Amino acid sequence: MPDPCQVDFYVLAGPVPSAGELACRLSLMAWEQGHRVSVLAADEASAQALDDLMWEYPPARFLPHERGPADAGVPVQIVLAADQVATDRDVVINLAGSAVPDPTRFRRLLEIVPADEGMRAASREKFRHYRALGLQPDSHAIGQK
């Protein structure tokens, strides 16, 4: 039986780093460890902003990526829907407001929780959803208040 999906919630304490910057850092770390990454954006504008950010952040680093369904040679893909995640991906970074369906098909699921208190309710729902599926999400505080 395969290992269950490891779910991690990264809770941002303030505006720095931004959710996009953290997604870039996590994508870079996962890629450097040999993982295939999909980043699930909330909407078209967010996907475009993340695409632009991945060209320049982190500074002096290159993160090979593309938007939409990725070919096997591209380590990081940015998508708008969970059903667009390529089957070769083992890490999903979720920036969308809803839980990733069928998270057990991935090795890791990374949820980024915005600092904005109004937006945290969706993350709390996602946390409860994953627990109801029998997963054991972990939380990590990022930044300081």
Q: Which residues of the chain have pLDDT under 50?
A: 1
Q: What is the reported pLDDT for 14?
A: 82
Answer for the pair 55, 91: CB distance below 8 angstroms, yes or no: no
Answer for the pair 11, 110: CB distance below 8 angstroms, yes or no: no
Q: How many other CB atoms are found less than 10 A from the CB of residue 32?
A: 11
Q: What is the reported pLDDT for 1?
A: 44
pLDDT tens-digit readout, 52-61: 999 998 888 8
Residues 6+ apart with CB under 8 A from 6: 107, 108, 109, 138
Q: What is the reported pLDDT for 70?
A: 63
pTM, rounded to two decimals: 0.93
pLDDT tens-digit readout, 111-129: 999 888 878 899 999 999 9
Burial (CB count within 10 angstroms: exposed 0-12, middle 13-18, buried 19+), residue 34: exposed
The fold for domain 6-142 equals Rossmann fold (3.40.50)
Q: What is the reported pLDDT for 57?
A: 87
- What is residue 96's DSSP assignment? S
